[in-house]
Amino acid sequence: MTEKPIENDETEARYLDFVEMALLFAVPVLIGFAVVLSDPNFGLTDGIGTTGGIGWILVRIRSRFYAVRTPDGISRRRRPAEQNWMVHVAEVEYDPKYDKVLAVVLAVIGIASFAALVFVDMSGRDSISFVIVGHLCLVGALMVYGVSNR
């Protein structure tokens, strides 16, 4: 990979950034896989899914910084906010009528999620998933409707 100069004698170390982020994701997943293999009470999706989520959080935190090679060694610098993809998404202009459409779609999904509880085995894990999805969708619908222009 090519490295671009930052200042006089500093270069950005993109390869190091990639390796560190890959390790931050892989190590928790491998630990979860080891736990799954060692304990038969854990399911594969439980162990790897949970630790994969932890790894993803670590990668998101690490992506806020970038590595720079300096004469004194490698140092980390905070990325400017303009380079963050979420800033670009938040600045997108759209028609305000889509706020109400989003609120209706979220409300329908939330109501359907609670209605599906009638057909789900209540002793299983699916029931709590439907409750969580229904709750988040209904609260999200209320929030979107509340902040939309009327």
Q: Nearest Cα to 47, choosing from 37, 57, 33? A: 33
Query: Is the pLDDT assigned to residue 4 strictly greater than 70?
Result: no
Q: Bigger pLDDT: 146 or 1?
A: 146
Q: pLDDT tens-digit profile of 85-115?
A: 777 777 778 888 888 899 999 999 999 999 9
Q: Average pLDDT of 21-47?
A: 85
Task: Give the integer Cα–Cα distance in Å for 26 and 48.
Answer: 10
What kind and span of H or E run contains 105?
helix 97-115
pLDDT on residue 142: 93
Q: pLDDT tens-digit profile of 36-61?
A: 888 877 777 777 888 888 999 998 88
Q: Bigger pLDDT: 84 or 77?
A: 77
How does residue 6 score in pLDDT terms, banded at 50, 70 and 90?
Answer: low
73-78 and 11-12 beta bridge pairing: unpaired
Percent pLDDT > 70 in the chain is 89
Q: Reduced to 3 states, what is the DSSP secondary structure of residue 74?
A: strand
User: What letter would DSSP give residue 5?
Assistant: B
Domain ranges of the chain: 11-83, 93-147
pLDDT on residue 48: 80
Q: Which stretch of 1-5, 65-69, 101-105 has the lowest confidence by average pLDDT? A: 1-5
Q: Bigger pLDDT: 80 or 101?
A: 101
DSSP strands (E only) in the chain = 11-12, 65-70, 73-78
Percent pLDDT > 90 in the chain is 23
Task: Give the integer Cα–Cα distance in Å for 103 and 145.
Answer: 6
Query: Is the pLDDT assigned to residue 65 strictly greater than 80?
Result: yes
- Using N-to-C axis directions, what is the helix angle for 44-62 and 14-38, rounded to 10°? 160
> 77 - beta bridge partners?
66
